[in-house]
Amino acid sequence: MPRLSGVVVVVTGASSGLGWHLALGAARRGARVVAVARRLERLEALEAAIGAAGCPAPLVVQADIGDLAQVESLGRRVEEECGGAQVLINNAGRGAHGRLEDLPAGVVDRVLATNLGGALHCTRVFLPQLKRHRPGHLVFVSSVLGELPAAEHAVYCATKFALNGLAESLDCELQGSGVGVTLVEPGLVDTEFALVSGRPPGRFSRLPASGADQVAERILRAVEGGRFRLIPDRLAWVGIAFRRHFPRSARLFFRAAFRRLLRESQLKVR
Ligand SMILES: NC(=O)c1ccc[n+]([C@@H]2O[C@H](COP(=O)([O-])OP(=O)(O)OC[C@H]3O[C@@H](n4cnc5c(N)ncnc54)[C@H](OP(=O)(O)O)[C@@H]3O)[C@@H](O)[C@H]2O)c1
């Protein structure tokens, strides 16, 4: 996928954070962006920002990607109004902070339905379009927590580990189909994510967070360069390499680190 100019790029979760900057960055490269999320007023603000930058007008679609019927309808609209997609960026996602037994079942279901179900629905619906318009490209925005554990983020971690399996398997399955795959594993990014997840303010505050605009730019460059795996920040890269090469030591390290973190947060609650 050497250039995004003139290409139809579907971005899920385009109403804020990484997705907003992915949509804006793709539009600035001359792509026809299909911006998808549930909050229509945010999508309309994105549409205005894209217009103000003098870029091609996006197609804005309000949809919940966890709902297959809505994703199928999205697929039909992209076909009818844009002639089909060439790039799908599976970016929409949410977290849920808390011990597994304390999380309401509805929250667990929503995290699974969005992070994993949504990516599966969108990929299945758009793959035929990407193949028809090849070279096509599929992007999965996973997380450093697609390879590392995190206490009080077990459900989120489970979905991101699953997303990694999906991306790596499709990378094998789609060989020769003209559709490339990029798997992105960001560390902390400065977005609304923590707020939506209910993560306590200050948790992980000692760790550096990347700017969403910078991470989005690196993702778009990875798509253009046909790169499979992108770990945009150095600390995430070090953590992942440590766990891959020294799994036993990494397990001990993460257990100790989270024991300390949980103890500190309990002390704060008292
Ligand atoms: N921020 C981080 O530290 C970090 C680190 C690693 C990975 N990530 C990953 O990066 C991706 C983007 O997150 P972000 O940091 O940009 O967070 P964010 O600002 O909260 O953005 C999440 C986006 O997903 C959309 N979304 C959530 N549920 C949806 C649903 N059911 N259907 C359609 N859209 C939905 C939201 O829009 P609506 O609410 O309008 O639907 C929003 O646009 C996520 O996959 C996240 O797991 C984030």
Pair of tokens at residue 175: 């060989």
Annotated catalytic residue: which of 156, 185, 197, 210?
Answer: 156
**Ligand 1: which residue has its CA nearest to atom 8?**
143
Q: Rounded mean pLDDT of 107-134?
A: 97
- Look-up: residue for tokens 């007008």? 57
110 bridge partner residues: none
Decide if 85 contacts 130 (C-beta within 8 A): yes
- Mean pLDDT in the chain? 95
> What number is the average pLDDT over the span 99-107?
96
pLDDT band at 202 (very low <50, low <70, confident <90, very high): confident
Examine residue 179 and state whether it is found in any structural domain, yes or no.
yes
Rounded-to-integer distance, Cα 18 and Cα 11, Å: 10
- C-alpha 13 to ligand 1 mean position (Å): 5
Chain segment 47-83, per-residue pLDDT in tens: 999 999 999 999 999 999 999 999 999 999 999 999 9
Per the domain annotation, does 95 fall within a domain? yes
Q: Is 156 part of the annotated catalytic residue set?
A: yes
Coil, helix or strand at residue 36? strand
Name all residues whose Cβ lies below 6 A of ligand 1.
12-13, 15-19, 37-39, 42, 64-66, 91-94, 114, 118, 141, 143, 186, 188-189, 191-193, 196
Residue 224 covered by a domain: yes
CATH code for the domain in which residue 119 is found? 3.40.50.720
Residue count (the chain): 270
Looking at the predicted structure, is the pLDDT value of residue 268 above 90? no
Segments forming the whole domain that contains residue 49: 8-241
Total number of domains constituting the chain: 1
Dist. CA 141 → ligand 1 center (Å): 9
Q: How far apart are the CA of 94 and the centre of ligand 1, in A?
A: 5
Please check whether residue 11 is in contact with residue 19, taking contact to mean a CB–CB distance below 8 angstroms.
yes
Asked whether residue 60 is domain-assigned, the answer is: yes
| CA-nearest residue, atom 32 of ligand 1 | 64
Predicted local distance difference test score (pLDDT) of residue 264: 82
Contact call for residues 40 and 262 (beta carbons, < 8 A): no
Residue 2 lies in a domain: no
CA 29 → CA 36, 45, 67, distances in Å?
Answer: 19, 19, 30
Express as a percent the part of the chain with pLDDT over 70.
98
Q: Is 59 part of a structural domain of the chain?
A: yes
pLDDT band at 31 (very low <50, low <70, confident <90, very high): very high
In a domain, 262, yes or no: no
* 15 lies in some domain: yes
Q: Ligand 1 center to residue 22 CA distance, Å?
A: 12
